[in-house]
A and B are shown apart, each in its own frame.
Chain A
Amino acid sequence: MTETTAFLRDAILAALATVIDPEVGLDVVSLGLIYDLDISPEEVRVGMTLTTPGCPLGEIIQTLVTTAVRAAAPGRTVRVERRWDPPWSPAMLLPGVRP
């Protein structure tokens, strides 16, 4: 990972930390919803999940994630993919986080 990519990765994670799940009241990073982050010169690909497949706010959270990443990585195509494997569990909360 180059220094630029590492810097961008930190910037994207900082932007994602501002995306709050309006029901739980925590950001998507603390909740452990971001599974992976692939950065290439043309594209940023985010693999994320939701606390449950039936979350009524799921589509909105995904939209907010896309918007935040786009703002942190201007000029790159942003692709956000929802993953259900592995399914989210409370064990994925960052240490010390209590909803």
Chain B
Amino acid sequence: MIPLPPGTAAAGRWSPPLLHFATAVAFFGVFAGALFWGHNHLLGFDFQARWVLGLAHLLTLGVLTMTMLGALGQLLPVVWLVPTQEVQRWMRPAWVLFTGSLLVFVGALWSGASWYGRPAIGLLLSLGIYLTAFVRSLRKVKNWDFVALHVAVALGYLILLAVMGTLLAWDQQRGLLFSDPAGALIAHVHLALVGWMSLLICGVSYRLIPMFALSHDEHKGPGRAAFVLINLGLLGLAWDGLWGGRRALPLWAILLALGYGAYAFQMKMIFRGRHRRLDPSLALTVTALLGGALWVLLGLGLAFHLLPNTTESRAAYLAAGLLGWGLPFVLGQLTKILPMLVWITSFHPAVRPAQTPAPSTQDLTRPALSWAMVSLWLPAVGGLTAGLLLERPRLLALGSGAFLAIALLFAFNAFGTLAYTWGRPWRPQ
């Protein structure tokens, strides 16, 4: 009898990472539906508008953070050879608390309830459970490499931004803690987008993209420069937003832009050395790199007052960061990892009878749907950012409609793959 690898769920039962990925796909559908339904609210709003806050947290917590937490549960054991059980032991209860708190939080925001800050405490507690499990396992890492450093620092920023977000929600009606609430919001948003999301993406991409592209360039010089520049820019920006009166924003913007440039150069080196054709996963990564460049340009435009200082311009900047950079990267890796985990769950030799042919992981997905999704990214991000910058409702309808189509295609493909975990998929039809 061939044993199951530690931490692998039996067929039909989703492992904690699979559970997180499936939830993220569902939240992406809800987010895209809400964005399309309410795209007219995107003009003439302010960042304290409950509908926008709910939408933003549905994306950042429900889709991006949910995927990243699931990915860490899978990545930490295999990359750093720490026990899977230890990393994943607390992920199910943390997932219940995190998902429940997020649903109540967004529901309270959208229904106009005054107590919406309370479920933020549940979110904070659940993140504390995840972090405790991850940090305990990070302590056991023997090979403390460049990628582990990114993960550890990103987790540190996650703690900071979660505490700060809870304090912001508590202080909104009171005005006791933050003398410059707009500056504090800038700090919170950038701790999330740059410190948590982007640094984790950078670190993970140095590990995953060479693996998926069969590109083994060991030279990490630009990546190291990116790490230093991004951290300097972010810490400076957060300090300036909280206590510095936002006087040096152009300087921090330049440091962050240089950091992104160094990261993009590192990724170019990895892609140049690849030995595999461009598949949907890698194409989504390239899309993310282009979206990241747009995000950086809009950030420089805002910092140097080349763009009008309107809520719509700032929303365009955030849309480029979240939907142009973070989301395609995360979905690109899911496109590859989800079939792998389903393969392990349902086609591992321990659960499949001998002599039964196993499919490839590629056979568990529909690449045509993934390519359709990739092709929709330009009208989606282009429509939303241009619609916000030019304040054109029709462009917003185009962008949000394209995102809804992307979400539906992704959900159809992902749940089609997940369906292989039910029953006995290896049985000849």
Task: Provide the A47-84 mask, 1 if CB < 8 A to any CB of B, else 0.
Answer: 00001111111111001100100000000000000000
Contact assessment for A90 and B214 in the assembled complex, using a CB-CB cutoff below 8 Å? yes
Contact assessment for A23 and B75 in the assembled complex, using a CB-CB cutoff below 8 Å? no
B153: min CB distance to chain A, Å: 19
Say yes or no for A5: interface residue by CB 8 A criterion: no
A22 and B276 in contact, given A51-B211, A54-B78 (Cβ under 8 angstroms): no
On chain A, the number of residues with a Cβ less than 8 Å from chain B's Cβ atoms is 25
Partner of A22, one of B75, B207, B215, B360: B360
Give the bracket for the number of chain B residues in contact with chain A. Answer: 20 to 34
Contact assessment for A89 and B361 in the assembled complex, using a CB-CB cutoff below 8 Å? no
Say yes or no for B410: interface residue by CB 8 A criterion: no
A67 surroundings in chain B (CB, below 8 A): 2, 349
B403: min CB distance to chain A, Å: 29
Contact assessment for B214 and A99 in the assembled complex, using a CB-CB cutoff below 8 Å? yes
Partner of A56, one of B74, B215, B216, B275: B74
Interface of chain B, main secondary structure: helix
A54 and B340 in contact, given A20-B360, A23-B360 (Cβ under 8 angstroms): no
A53 surroundings in chain B (CB, below 8 A): 79
Partner of B216, one of A22, A58, A90: A90
B344 surroundings in chain A (CB, below 8 A): 56-57, 60
Contact assessment for B211 and A25 in the assembled complex, using a CB-CB cutoff below 8 Å? no
Contact assessment for A51 and B5 in the assembled complex, using a CB-CB cutoff below 8 Å? no
Which of A60, A89, A99 gathers the greatest number of chain B CB atoms within 10 Å? A60
Contact assessment for B78 and A56 in the assembled complex, using a CB-CB cutoff below 8 Å? yes
Partner of A52, one of B75, B211, B347: B211
The contact sample of 29 A-B pairs, CB cut-off 8 A, is A20-B360, A22-B343, A22-B347, A23-B340, A23-B360, A23-B362, A25-B360, A25-B362, A51-B214, A52-B210, A53-B79, A55-B78, A56-B74, A56-B337, A56-B340, A56-B344, A57-B343, A57-B344, A60-B5, A60-B344, A60-B349, A63-B5, A63-B349, A64-B349, A67-B2, A87-B216, A89-B216, A90-B214, A98-B275
Q: Which 10 A-B pairs have the closest CB atoms?
A: A54-B79, A90-B275, A52-B211, A59-B5, A25-B360, A23-B361, A89-B216, A56-B78, A99-B276, A22-B361
Interface residues of A (CB under 8 A from B): 20, 22-25, 51-60, 63-64, 67, 87-90, 93, 98-99
Interface residues of B (CB under 8 A from A): 2, 5, 74-75, 78-79, 207, 210-211, 214-216, 275-276, 336-337, 340-341, 343-344, 347-349, 358-362
- Give 16 A-B pairs besides A55-B78, A57-B340, A60-B344 with Cβ atoms closer than 8 angstroms: A20-B360, A22-B343, A22-B360, A22-B361, A25-B360, A25-B362, A51-B211, A52-B216, A54-B211, A56-B340, A56-B341, A56-B344, A67-B349, A88-B216, A89-B216, A99-B214
